Each structure stands twice: as structure tokens, then as C-alpha cells.
Amino acid sequence: MKKILITIPIILFFSVVKAQVNGVKATDTTSKTYDVAITTVDGNGKVFTSVEHEPEFKGGLQEFYKYLRDSIHYPANAVKNHIEGRVFLSFIVEKDGSLSNIKIVKSVSEDIDSEAIRVLKDSPVWNPGLQNGKPVRVSYVMPLDFRLSKG
């Protein structure tokens, strides 16, 4: 039976993409640029892309990896059809640590994209980003690799 691997590039938290309040860009390994609009949900919430203290998953990067390993279920159709790839998601870590505006920036397939969105939507609350000691909304673009093992 094939093992299923889901990898998360180490650059995860260090790849905050420069963005503006109304948009964000992500660049993949083929140097193509993808645009996605980010809409402010609350009328007064500026979205930051760089802050004094970055948001983080409670427990840190290792706990985030553990959450992903335990939560992601490789879609059966993708396994059957040997579909692999890197999906890019954009999202906002809100002032309360919840994730919002989760969107696909670069797609792999409908079922893999849906699984990546599901896992982020189900994510426990994060520690919010801080600017001048106050919680702020922070925009992220994150890659998730979906790979099937060869063994």
C-alpha cells in the first residue's frame, strides 16, 4: 500500500508575501505570479502583511505540523488518479486568532484544494499578530504540498 505524504515547506511562516490592503501576490516555483483579492470583513480592520510580532499557531511551528499531519486526509480520488502538487492558500489571521478569508491562490485539483481549505477552516485559534502591543489582522499566503510516496 502506498504511503501518503503531506509536506509543509519550512518557509511557511517566513514567506509572508508583501501585499496591499486590497490584494496579495504569491509566487510559485515557476515564477508565475497569482493575484487574489482580500476583502476586509469588518469595516475598520486594516490588514497587515508585516507586524512587530507575527501570528503563530498555538504551540508553534511543530504543533502546526502535527495538526496538519493529524487532520489532513488525502482525497481518495486524488490518490486513485495519482494527483500531487502544491496548493497555495491565502488567509487572514484575525485579531481574535481565528482564520478568515481562506482562498485558493494556486490550485492543484478541486478535491485537494477543498481539503486544504477544510483543514485551515477547522484550525484551532492562533495567537494573533501584534502591532504596537495590540492585536491586528495579518494576511498570509501559505503553500501546502500534497505528495504520494513512491513506496
Q: CATH number of the domain that 109 lies in?
A: 3.30.2420.10
What does the pLDDT read at residue 27? 33
Write down the pLDDT at residue 18. Answer: 27
* Residue 80 pLDDT: 95
The segments of the chain whose pLDDT lies below 50 read 1-2, 8-43
Res 149: pLDDT: 82
Q: What is the pLDDT of residue 142?
A: 92
> CA 12, 15, 20, 26: dihedral to nearest 10 degrees?
-80
Which residues form the domain of 122?
Answer: 4-140+143-147
Q: What is the pTM of this model?
A: 0.71
Our count of domains for the chain comes to: 1
CA dihedral 12, 17, 23, 25 (to 10 degrees): -90
